[in-house]
Amino acid sequence: MKVLTYHNIDYPPENAKLKSLYVNPNKFESQIKLLKKLGFQTVLSDEINKSKKNIILTFDDGYRDFVRNAYPILKKYNAKAIIFVVVGLTGKYNLWDWEKLNVKKPLMDWEEIKFLVSEGFEIGSHTITHPYLTKIPEKTAKAEIEDSKKILEDKLGVEIKTFCYPYGDYNERIKDLVADAGYKMAFTTQEGSYEESKDIYQIKRITVFGHYLLPQFLWKFLV
């Protein structure tokens, strides 16, 4: 089984750096349509059965363009997804890398996140402030991991089962903190299949880049 990673579903602004993290909505629709045509079933974290025909769609950072551009397409094709939100920045923008990327990307607010929960989407934690977890004091890392789960659960009234490491940055200790906080699984930025992952707290994924044409996309999740 493959876990796909998306960031923005939108057209990149002229001056934005790292444009490859933007998948335009038309391309995104072709990808979802293809998945469905091939008989793939999009599953959430508690539905994983490692079937070759299962796939998990994940969206990092919780950008507002998910609601505007990705949601209608996923709804149309009856597809589910996990969205990893930066809990302390809801309704704000990508404070952690806007200077580097030269663009302020709006993040979903609580109303939008609640709406997605009511529509059957899964929300996971991407910490409170999107730090490099191995580069901050352990106490702070622990709070980023634990408190983000608690805040999400209080606000949304559902159990938060999944975690995603900002920048894919983690080590054994961080992994333990995530497990101790009660998350059921955690996702990395390492490339590979679900089965190739060393354990459930370092799940490998496949990033879908904006320049992929449909054959490349197909190759990435089939091979």
Give yes or no for a contact between 82 and 162, defined as CB atoms under 8 angstroms apart: yes
| Binding-residue pattern over the window 79 to 118 for Zn ion, x denoting contact by CB under 5 A | ----------------------------------------
State how far the Cα of 102 lies from the Cα of 18, in Å rounded to an integer. Answer: 9
What is the nearest approach in angstroms of Zn ion to the Cβ of residue 60?
4
State how far the Cα of 82 lies from the Cα of 59, in Å rounded to an integer. Answer: 6
CB nearer Zn ion, residue 61 or residue 112: 61
State how far the Cα of 205 lies from the Cα of 187, in Å rounded to an integer. Answer: 7
CB nearer Zn ion, residue 63 or residue 121: 63
Largest Cα separation within the chain, whole Å, is: 47
Q: Does 61 bind Zn ion (CB under 5 A)?
A: yes
State how far the Cα of 108 lies from the Cα of 204, in Å rounded to an integer. Answer: 25
What is the nearest approach in angstroms of Zn ion to the Cβ of residue 195?
24
Show the tokens assigned to 35.
Answer: 């998945």
Show the tokens assigned to 70.
Answer: 């990705």
Q: Does 144 bind Zn ion (CB under 5 A)?
A: no
What is the nearest approach in angstroms of Zn ion to the Cβ of residue 44?
20
Q: Does 60 bind Zn ion (CB under 5 A)?
A: yes
What is the nearest approach in angstroms of Zn ion to the Cβ of residue 76?
26
Burial group, residue 215, by CB count within 10 angstroms (0-12, 13-18, 19+): exposed
Which stretch in 17-25, 27-35, 164-172, 191-199 sits in contact with Zn ion by CB under 5 A?
164-172
Show the tokens assigned to 219.
Answer: 């190759």
What is the nearest approach in angstroms of Zn ion to the Cβ of residue 106?
15
CB nearer Zn ion, residue 18 or residue 179: 18
CB nearer Zn ion, residue 165 or residue 221: 165
Which stretch in 65-73, 131-139, 158-166, 196-204 sits in contact with Zn ion by CB under 5 A?
158-166
State how far the Cα of 116 lies from the Cα of 118, in Å rounded to an integer. Answer: 5
Give yes or no for a contact between 103 and 16, defined as CB atoms under 8 angstroms apart: yes
Binding site for Zn ion (CB under 5 A): 60-61, 166
